[in-house]
């Protein structure tokens, strides 16, 4: 692709996997190794993690699989970019985009397809890696969807090494009106499904941890969710959305501005369906009024010290970082109560 920046050469074939590093499990390492081994012009581009020690851990692990100096020199980590425009500019330099498994992405996949970039996907049995596959289903185009690791590698390599084929795939993608297929058609189908019954006037909430159900099919007016990429509120008729949770407060408005219950969560996932049913699976939940303020503040100091003392790139460093941020969020939850 001509006119590249981000210190990537025009003559390279760029295989980009623009996902958070925690989605890159060891099973996926073999894919990157085989691409580099079989395509001498291939270069793999990954994004740096939010925390430098996470990036260092991934580098260390990958080097155990990609143990050739020549191949390792064709692995590039690029800084995270803020804002959609900057991300799309980075994504656009790719020749082939790799959708990892068994954990994939949704918005990133849609962005790649809307840019007409060949996106290699794996058909898996789990929702967490079926988003790209579902987009391709709506496009009625499965050329880039694999059922096995070997097939995934073969598809990626053909797209990377055969420029004519890659161009044909891109033209085919764009000719299928990707914007309409991914967004309009999918949302229209969701709306039709929702309209087949009475229009929702409330959110049906299911809120639980592995050991306890706090809400089960309860009608509420509003749920405020601490999404990983930003907090948001869910009311009746909300667009379907899947979000990972960050440490923070889930506020349940059983009656708007009258009955509000607040729960602190350390993390989890939220899924709002087309009929306004919202499922929230949390790692753990505690009522904000039950938080021990002194213990939360002591935890901030304890884990700040542990974070400063732990060696970079160690599990202890990562654990301290997570605990420190969780206790900061606990203190913030009390301050906003």
Average pLDDT score over residue span 279-288: 91
Q: 102-137, pLDDT tens digit by residue?
A: 888 887 888 888 788 999 999 888 777 788 888 888
pLDDT digits (tens, 9 = 90+) for 189-229: 444 554 444 556 899 999 998 888 999 999 999 999 998 87
Q: Mean of the pLDDT values across residues 30-57?
A: 93
How far is CA 195 from each of CA 188, 192, 214, 234, rounded to the nearest angstrom?
A: 10, 5, 28, 18
Same domain (yes/no): 53, 161: yes
Residue 155 belongs to a domain with what CATH number?
Answer: 3.40.50.2000
pTM beyond 0.85: no
Q: Is 99 left (phi over 0), alpha (psi -120 to 50) or beta?
A: beta
Claim to verify: residue 257 and residue 150 sit in the same structural domain = no
- Asked if residue 239 and residue 304 are part of one domain, the reply reads no
DSSP 8-state class, residue 183: I
Using one digit for the tens of pLDDT, what is the confidence trace for 238-253? 888 888 888 999 999 9
pLDDT digits (tens, 9 = 90+) for 251-277: 999 987 677 899 999 888 999 888 889
Strand partners, 222: 253
Same domain, 82 and 102: yes
> Given phi > 0 = left and psi -120 to 50 = alpha, else beta, which region is 77?
beta
Q: Are residue 282 and residue 306 in the same domain, yes or no? A: no
For residue 320, give its domain range.
293-336
Domain containing residue 225: CATH number: 2.60.15.10
Q: What is the pLDDT of residues 225-236, one digit of tens each?
A: 998 877 889 998
**54 found inside a domain:** yes
Check whether residue 28 and residue 83 sit in a common domain: yes
Sole residue written with tokens 């090494």? 161
Residues 30 and 103 in one domain: yes
Shared-domain flag, residues 109 and 54: yes
Q: Are residues 155 and 121 in the same domain?
A: yes
Other Cβ atoms within 10 Å of 286 Cβ, number: 17
């Amino acid at each position: 692709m001509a006119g590249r920046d981000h210190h990537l050469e025009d003559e390279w074939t760029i295989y980009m996997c623009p996902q958070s590093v925690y989605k890159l499990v060891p099973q996926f390492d073999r894919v990157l190794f085989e691409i580099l081994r079989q395509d001498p012009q291939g270069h793999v581009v990954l994004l740096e993690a939010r925390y430098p020690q996470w990036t260092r851990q991934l580098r260390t692990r990958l080097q155990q699989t990609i143990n050739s100096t020549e191949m390792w020199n064709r692995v590039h980590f690029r800084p995270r970019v803020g804002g959609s425009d900057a991300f799309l500019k980075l994504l656009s330099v790719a020749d082939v985009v790799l959708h990892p498994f068994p954990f994939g992405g949704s918005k990133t996949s849609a962005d790649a397809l809307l840019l007409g970039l060949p996106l290699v996907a794996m058909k898996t049995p789990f929702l967490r890696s079926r988003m790209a596959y579902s987009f391709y289903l709506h496009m009625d185009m499965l050329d880039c969807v694999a059922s096995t690791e070997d097939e995934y590698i073969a598809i990626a390599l053909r797209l990377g090494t055969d420029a004519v084929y890659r161009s044909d795939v891109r033209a085919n993608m764009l000719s299928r009106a990707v914007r309409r297929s991914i967004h309009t058609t999918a949302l229209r189908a969701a709306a039709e499904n929702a309209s087949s019954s009475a229009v929702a006037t409330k959110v049906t909430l299911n809120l639980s941890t592995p050991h306890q159900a706090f809400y089960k099919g309860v009608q509420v007016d509003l749920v405020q969710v601490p999404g990983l990429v930003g907090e948001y509120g869910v009311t009746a008729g909300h667009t379907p959305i899947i979000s990972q949770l960050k440490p923070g407060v889930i506020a349940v408005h059983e009656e708007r501005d009258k009955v509000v219950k607040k729960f602190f969560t350390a993390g989890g996932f939220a899924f709002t369906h087309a009929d306004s049913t919202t499922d929230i699976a949390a790692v753990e939940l505690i009522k904000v009024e039950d938080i021990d303020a002194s213990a939360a503040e002591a935890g901030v100091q304890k884990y700040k010290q542990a974070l400063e003392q732990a060696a970079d790139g160690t599990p202890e460093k990562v654990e301290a970082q997570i605990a420190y941020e969780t206790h900061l969020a606990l203190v913030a939850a009390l301050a906003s109560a």
